Chains A and B, each alone.
Chain A
Amino acid sequence: MKLTQGFRMAIKSVLSSKLRTALSMLGILIGVATVIALVGMGQGSTKQVEEQVASLGTNSLSVTITGRGTATSLSLDDAMALADIPNVEGVSPTVSGSATVKYGKNSTSVTVEGITPDYEQVSDFSVQSGRYIASMDVKNTQKVALIGVDTATELFEEEDPVGKTIQVNGSRFTIVGLLEAKGSSLTGSNDEKIAIPITTGQKLFDSVGVRTVALKVTDLDLMDITVAALEAKLLEKFRGDDSSYRVFNQQDAVETLNSVNETMNTMLLYVAAITLLVGGIGVMNIMLVSVTERTREIGIRKSLGAKRRDILFQFLVEAVVISGMGGALGIGFGYLGSYVIGVVNGTDTSVPFNTVILSFAFSAFVGIVFGIFPANKASRLKPVDALRHD
């Protein structure tokens, strides 16, 4: 018997009992649809996280000072000295706190960051109009500020904020530049803040040292060495008290996030595999029923010269056709599902093509695996017994 003939016969037989086929397909269909939808969602979130992390820059490091008091604080000069560590391209110490800003009748509470001019390069965060904080501003403790786009809209609505004077916790600051829009990152919104010279910030928040230092390295491959050198230097500075600072590696963060995502995706795969397994058992059930129901047909076919392998092939192909059709429909529903999820959640979803191929192939494979048992049972029937069956 030829292959194409076998397929034609199987499809015909499968289509001739539509309800049963549809019901047995359901398991596989739901399984594949779940895989597609969940993977689509997972991929979407992975992409989003990756984009956010990339916006922070992977070649950056940050040091957070957690200690209090003079012994365990890092002065501005100490922070600037970190630039001497080999492979460090830029150092950007910051202090931050929140403050109430006021312009006319509008007022809002925002994050205020005290920065140095290097902030622009290290954090890759520039102004779209006006000028940046200059070193002279830092030196002279000038009351100038850069404003984030969201805060600008809130305070000034349609007006151009550059050159205007605002009140920050009661002190008057002149806005010299409007920051570019950067969106939110893992550390919160970048657009709802104002930036002032670090010295001004220290005065405003009445703090001695700096709270965080962002560093930029020149060579990503030397990250580990740089981190080690940085820690050595800080340890020396804090006289062995390694609990008062923390070095945070952006690369580590990316890896952590990726591993979290990976775990999630693996979990999804397990869920999908279980669903498909259950679907496969459904197909096997139906095929077993079908074998019993069609015992006489098998007997007739055998009496007409069907060999064992012909019967085996027929039932196997039927199982594969059922699960394959379930898989194909599942892909369709999965796409639809991931699209709907994306729209409802307002997140990106993307279904990788190889997942589609893989899940379809897997569903066909499930058909083969779970089709073998019933098909074998059918093929082993003795023609005499099968013909006698009612």
Chain B
Amino acid sequence: MTNESSGILIDINNLVKNYVMGRETVTILKGVSFQVEKGDFVAIVGPSGSGKSTMMNVIGCLDTPTDGSYKLDGIEVRGMSENKLADIRNKKIGFIFQGFHLLPRLTALENCELPLIYRGLPAKQRRAMAMKALEQVGLGERVHHRPSELSGGQQQRVAIARALATNPPILLADEPTGALDMKTGQEVLQLMEDLNRQGHTIVLITHDMEVAHRASRTVIMRDGVLTEERRDRDEADAGVQDGDQERLVKQA
């Protein structure tokens, strides 16, 4: 773990996002400031309609802010061209979606290779990187199965492997347990904790406080404003896992 030596990965300052709906302009994000350091495991929690999805879209460069500044890994993202944004998504961000968002016609391996194809890597290298990522999530044996032949937990693990394959500095997870049952949800969260321990920076978006407590830091979003921030663990979660304790010590 190299938390101490690293800088700020996500630096959002006074960010505003407006949507034009018919004749009215709706402000979803009302001047949000937010920082994520390298190695962090941050959860953004909020009820539906709070603007957390918009937040995630902006962080993931899927959507552009109306005003304010967003520096990702030291680069100002606002005002970038669509092509540049695609490039940044490819190189800096690994997405983990609620609905997995795997392509149904491709096998697990091909799904993992997809971002590497868009990076323009040769087939051999692609395969090796995708295989490595799949082994990392414990799916080394099911690489030639299609998503429909895998369980929900396995599908989400393929999605995580796809996010990992490009070795991005940030993993962005949007309700990663939302479509899973309790047990597999826990497994996926466990996997994310492991990944965080290996040095991956993770931003987790959820409406579920319990899920959020697995992260080392929680940010609460309400009506387009970040209203609360906690770096300490809730007592309910304390002492659940050794890994958490370990990280708590480091964070302190």
Contacts and interface: CB of A to CB of B under 8 A. Distances in A.
A16 B83 CA distance: 29
Contacts of A300: 101-103
A305 interface: yes
User: Which bracket fits the contact residues of B?
Assistant: 20 to 34
Nearest to B82: A308
State the main secondary structure of chain A at its contact with B.
Answer: helix
A304 interface: yes
Interface in B73-102: 82-83, 86-87, 89-91, 95, 97, 101-102
Contact of B101 (A2, A296, A305, A384): A296
B105 A305 contact: no
Nearest to A386: B62
B117 interface: yes
B118 A310 contact: yes
Contacts of A308: 82-83, 86
A297 B103 contact: yes
* Chain B interface, >50% SS class: helix
B153 interface: no
Interface string B20-59: 0000000000000000000000000000000000000100
B30 to A, nearest CB: 19
Among A9, A296, A301, A303, the one with the most B-chain Cβ atoms within 10 Å of its Cβ is: A303
A16 B62 CA distance: 29
A186 interface: no
B65 interface: no
A305 B87 contact: yes
B63 interface: yes
Contacts of A301: 114, 118
A383 B117 contact: no
A13 interface: yes
Nearest to B60: A303
Interface in A133-167: none
Contact of B162 (A296, A302, A304, A387): A304
A277 interface: no
Interface residues of A, number: 25
B17 to A, nearest CB: 11
B89 A303 contact: yes
Contact of B89 (A9, A16, A297, A304): A304
Contacts of B60: 303
A304 B90 contact: yes
Given A304-B90, A304-B95, A307-B86, A387 B117 contact: no
B117 A1 contact: yes
A304 B118 contact: yes
Given A303-B89, A308-B82, A5 B117 contact: yes
Interface in A290-319: 296-297, 299-310
A12 interface: yes
B120 interface: yes
Contacts of B166: 305
Nearest to A12: B105
B115 interface: yes
A85 B186 CA distance: 110
Nearest to A6: B117
B55 to A, nearest CB: 12
Nearest to B104: A297
B105 A302 contact: no
A300 B158 CA distance: 14
B124 to A, nearest CB: 13
Contacts of A305: 86-87, 89-91, 115, 118-119, 166
Interface of B: 57, 60, 62-63, 82-83, 86-87, 89-91, 95, 97, 101-103, 105, 114-115, 117-120, 123, 162, 166
7 contacts: A299-B101, A300-B101, A302-B86, A305-B90, A309-B83, A310-B118, A387-B101
Lowest 4 A-B CB distances belong to which pairs? A305-B90, A304-B115, A305-B118, A307-B86
